Every structure is written in C-alpha cells, then in structure tokens.
Structure 1
Amino acid sequence: MKQAIYLVYVALPVILLWGAKFSGKRFNDGFLSLEQTKAIQGFLAICIMLHHIAQKTCASWIQPQTRIVHGLDMFVPIGYLLVSIFLFFNGYGVYKSYHTKENYLDGFIKKRILPVVLALYTTTVIFFIARLLVGEKMDAKQVILYLTSIQLCNPNTWYVIVLPFFYLAFYFSFKFIKKDGLAVLATTAFVVFYMLLGTRIDHNDYWIRGEWWYNCVFLFPVGIIFAKFEDKIIPHLKKHYWVYLVAALLLFYPLYIYSGFICNIFGYYGDNWGAPDTVFRRRVSLLSQVFLTTEFVFTVLLINMKVAFGNKFLKFMGTITLEFYLIHGLYVELFGWQFDGGVPSPHHIKYVLVYVLVVFALGVPSAILLKKLHGFILHKPYTITPHSRKAA
C-alpha cells in the first residue's frame, strides 16, 4: 500500500496532457491567453498541494526520521519553482491589462488587491478556528498575531501577503510615472529592494520568515518585462525555437543541481551557523535561484508555445486556484502527524496516497465554497467560464 503513492506520477501526466494539442509546425498563438495560463495554474495548484504533503511525509527535517514515508520526495524542494510561474503570470497579466483595458488603474485596488487580501483573511479565520479546535493554547498576544497574520495562522500564505505589495508597486509606478519604461523600472526596483531586504532578515516566526518569501519573486517583474517586449521576444523565439527549446531542456537539470550545490555551500541559514557574512551567503544563494527560476519559467513558456494545455478539469481548477492554494493546507495539517505549531493532528492518515486523495477531495469543495463566499462579499458571481486574453 505504501508504494501506491507512486501512482501520482502516472496521474499527473494524464491530468496535464488529457486534451492537450500539439501545434506541429505551427505555434500555439494563445499560449499566453488567460484560458491557457489559468489551466496551467490549475495544474500547478495540484503540484503545490503535493509539495506541502511531501513536506509533511518525506522531508529530510522530519523528526523522528521513522516518520518519513518516501514517495513524494521530488516535490519537497520545488515549491518556489512552481510559484515562480504564478508570479510571472501575475506580472504579465497586470501589464497586458494596463495596456489593453481602458482606465485599467481605476478601481485597481478593488479588483486586483482586495480579492487577494480577502482570501488571506477568510482563510486566516478558518485556520484560527481550527487551531482552537485541535487544542492549541494561545495568549492574547498570540491571538492578535494570528488574526492579523503578522504570524502566519495559515502557514501557506506568504504568497498572498507579498503579492498585494507588488501590485501596489505596479499601481503607483504606472499611475504617477508617465514614461512606461521608467514605470517598469520602478516596479522592478521595488521587487529587487524587497529581495535585498529579505536577505538581511534572519529566519523568524513573522513576515519574511525565510528564503521562500523572496527566492522566486523576481519573476513578477520578469513577467512585466516580457509583456512589454513580447512583440520582439516572441518572433525571435519562434525563429530560433528549437535551438532555445533544446538548450532550455538541457540546461535545466544542471542548473538545478548547481543551484542546490551553491545553496548547500553558502546557504540561507548562516544565522543558525553564526556566520559573519550571512547576508552575502544569502545573496549568492538567491542569485543562483533567480537564474534557476527564470530558466524554469522560460522552459515552461517554450513548451507552451507548441502544446496547448487544457481540459475541463484544468479549466475548472483554474477558476479556484487561489482558494485551493490557501485552503488545502488545512487538511494537510489536520491529517498529518501534527498541526503547524506542534499540536498533534486529530487524525493521522498513514498511507500517503490516501492522504493525498483526502486532502484533494476536501480541498476542492472547500475552495468552491470560499470562491462563492468571496464572490458574495465582493458582489462578483462565481463562474467556471474563463475569459480570453490573447498574446499581442
């Protein structure tokens, strides 16, 4: 039964490739359409679920090590790679929308930022209630820290905390800077400043807890820059497509190994070692992961230029990606060995495949309910029909 978890590696290609269409000698001109990018994000949401379950079942830091059950090992270290694609699409999407939708910045905060903040705090309240029910003891200070999300009540919310700040940087840059190139530069500078700030902060229990808070965020301005110059980039990529694709595929694994080597040698945890050059170590490690995440997203885009991914299931998952991303972790915690923070989980599921299926089976309807709740609050009806956004 323990070996059954390897069926995941059969199911994932089926989910991704079911209904996919290869363009042959032509190109998938809708490879950056909203429908296509949402389908990809729907698939990535499932992979991120597996990443979080892997951290609970087979990560090297699990103690005692007798608890480790192998099977999802490849998902343990790749969470930041998966989120890098989300950030690229976030940056690409806001820039394209700014240039294609009239008066896009009017109501930007309500349309772009408020839904993310709302999703953060609705799931924070849900996790807070769950923590009380599983018996976590809290004083008044801890209650305030959790409910404000200064300390993460939902341990998977770093992405929805930093994203609104990047959106705000984009908003203020493009609202008050008239030259497009300077606005792009200002947004990029903000993200770089955030990354440099992150490398100066030791691992902690609050915001910017560790490297996962900033090691893939550079893809947000990369998405913006790609959108700005796509009229030149895409024809160039098409002209030399096979050269770029082969190079990207051949380069990824060596670059992945190299980044792992750099992080092992320099590391993000110099604060634990008492190293005098901790910030320098973090920045060297960060730079290796910036190269890796950029190359990874580039590879995904190249494949996407030839293969149109999408089926009814992925389209459906694409409509609840944010909610599923935020709520599935509740079930990861409830059915693992212990709830985040150290309280024993109420029910540990021994077999990892069953664990995966239960988390997914409960996470999807919970995400739908959250989506409907958010739509009710924001007066935005829930729909599973994606809109279209063609690449220019």
Structure 2
Amino acid sequence: MTDAASALAPDVRVLPRQRPEAARINIVGLTRSQLQAALIAAGTPEKQARMRVGQVWQWVYHWGLRDFAAMSNLAKDYRALLAQHFEIVLPEVVTRQLSDDGTRKYLVRVAGGHEVEVVYIPEEDRGTLCISSQVGCTLSCTFCHTGTQMLVRNLTAGEIVGQVMLARDDLGEWPERGAPKDETRLISNVVLMGMGEPLYNFENVRDAMKVVMDNEGIALGRRRITLSTSGVVPEIARTATEIGCLLAVSFHATTDEVRDTLVPINRKWNIATLLDALRAYPGLSNSERITFEYVMLEGVNDSKEDAYRLVALLQGIPAKVNLIPFNEWPGAPFKRSSGNRIHAFADIIHNAGYASPIRTPRGEDIMAACGQLKSATERGRRSRAEIAAEAGQEPPPRVARRPDAPDLH
C-alpha cells in the first residue's frame, strides 16, 4: 500500500454507515385503535393517547387538514413529534373528467404507480361517490369493462378512505373554520361499486368504512354506504356484523347456466347458495333491503321468463331490483336491451311487489357509467380479445343471444 493510500485508508474504514430514515406512518385509513397504538409507539403518553386521537382525528377527517403545524390546539412540540413520525397523504389525482350531465370521473394513482377510477354522481337529492376496492378485478364478469383487467392488488384502507377525501377536496366540501355550520352534503352516499370485489379485500374495506362512518370525522351513516358484491358467500354475514352497511348483489341472471358466464364466481357459489346466505343476512328487514343489481343484456337475460324467474327467486328476501341498462364499452360482447324490453321487465318485478327502478345511465360520454371503469384508460379502445392476448389468455366466452328473442310488450 502506498503512503497516500495508507493515509486515506483509516478514514474510509471508520466512515459511519448511513441508516435510512424510518418511514413515516400515513394517518389516513388508520382506525381509532390503530391510530392510538401508533401515537403511543411514537412517544405519546398512554394517559393522553385517547385525547390526542380525538384531536388529530377531527383535524384530518372533519376539517380536512393536511399540515400538522396548523393543528392549533396541540402544543408546538407535540406537532413536531407528529410531523416526525406521521404523514397525511392521499392518492394522487392524475386526471379529472367532467361529463355533460355533471358526473365527475377521477383517475387516481396509488402506491406503486397503479391506477384506479373514482366517480362522483350528483343528483337532485343526493350526491353519490362510487369508489374502488382493488386495482383491477379477479372476477372477469363478461359484461364489465373492469373485468378485462387482471387483478393487480388490493387497495389499503388508506387508499380507500383517500378516494373519499380527494373527492371532497375537489368538491370543496370540507367545512370552513369559523363559518356557520352547514349540513349540506355534496357527498351524501358512498357505494363500493367501483373497481374490484370488496369482499375479497374485506379487512381493508371494513377499516376504511369505520373511518368514513365515524361521527367525529367524515360522518356518513352506515345506511348511506352500500357495498356491492358478486357473491362471495363466506364474507356476506361479516358485512352486516363488522361493517353494518347496506348490501347490494351483482346478480344479473336467473339461471346458473347464464350466471356462470356473466358472473363466473357463480361456479363456486351458485344462485341457490347465494340466496340462502342472503336470506340469513343479519338485520335484514323491509327498511334495510338487499339491492339486486341486474344489468339488462339484449337477448341474454331480459326475457319475460327471466323476469318471472327473478320474482320467484326473491321469495322471502326483502329486496329491491335495480335494473341497469348495459353501458357499452369498446369490444363489449353484448348490447343494451331495448327501452320497451327494460320497462316491461320492470313492470313484472314491480307488479310482484318489488321496487324496480331503472337506473339512468350517467357519465357515459366519459366512460364513467356502471361497468365501464378501467384503470388503464389508454387501453380502453382495445377489444377483449386483444387484451386477453396481451395477458397470454384465451378471451372469455360470449353468451349467445337467444335466436328470435322477442321484445316484451
């Protein structure tokens, strides 16, 4: 070793190893108990922890605040402690589209660069936010655009709550400090009907809804939240007991033969098994009915016989049936049932004693309508066959339209 090298070597050997700074914990999505445990772990005295949870909770979820330094009822040194250990981070809004009918669609980026879509639907008496629970979907329902995308991962509770918060940001819905109290809610209802199957991400969905329903924060009542499932039977009862929200079922067919193709999860839990679970749903009553979602597909599931079969299947279940005109998307293998056929179908259901509203398509011009959501929006013009080929899969089978299927009059 040369003298110069010898002179340098000791300095090289004793250089301290750089330790990465511990990642800060995102408060968004933590339940009260989780937040309390995290505050204690960060140095909050246990006797103060419950009070601190309440203070931080109100700043984040009632006022929509993102800066610890502005939490004025906390001591300055405690605000510094929070900033050292925690952060308040929402998913990133990549694009925002506004439909001619006032519907807003957000393309939202979450951790890992993945994207989901969120839709806000304003109506005269309510404002409904449709949120996603997964990046992509594992169910491959053949009428659903999201089903053309493979499941990437579950969303975290924070990413689910964050969708509600970013929509409130965009709508300017957070209350102003010092202003008179205003009970007007632009987001009065939340539906878990976006991308993904919520019951395949049960724990994160449950924790997120606990945050959204908490009375000292966003404060949406449990009956203002509807969870839609394609029929994950083992988790259905848990929805009532651990979340308590309203339940909707993506039903769409009256025979196992047709539902096996439209909603492939039916091959695992068929119609009879699903209906048995729904009849046993805790708390089921006429005031808390199960909503059956039924997309109207020309010549596939919209016959007079289908309508009467559906009435028979619903026996013993307090229910209403939402009839959804099929919202077409590029490469879709189905067509929307005619208006005459949809109304005649609705009349049969209604005359049997069940509410049968026909959903008005919203946001079709920006691909924000039911069944049209897809995170990889740049792939929206591709056919199902092209998407399947890219994934190295066979395209899903088409459901044949019945020959000579007459209109219902």
- Establish whether TM, by shorter chain, passes 0.5: no
Ranked by relative contact order (alpha carbons within 8 Å, sequence separation 6 or more), the top structure is: 1
Normalising by structure 2, what TM-score? 0.26
* Structure showing greater Rg: 2
Structure with a larger share of its residues in strand: 2
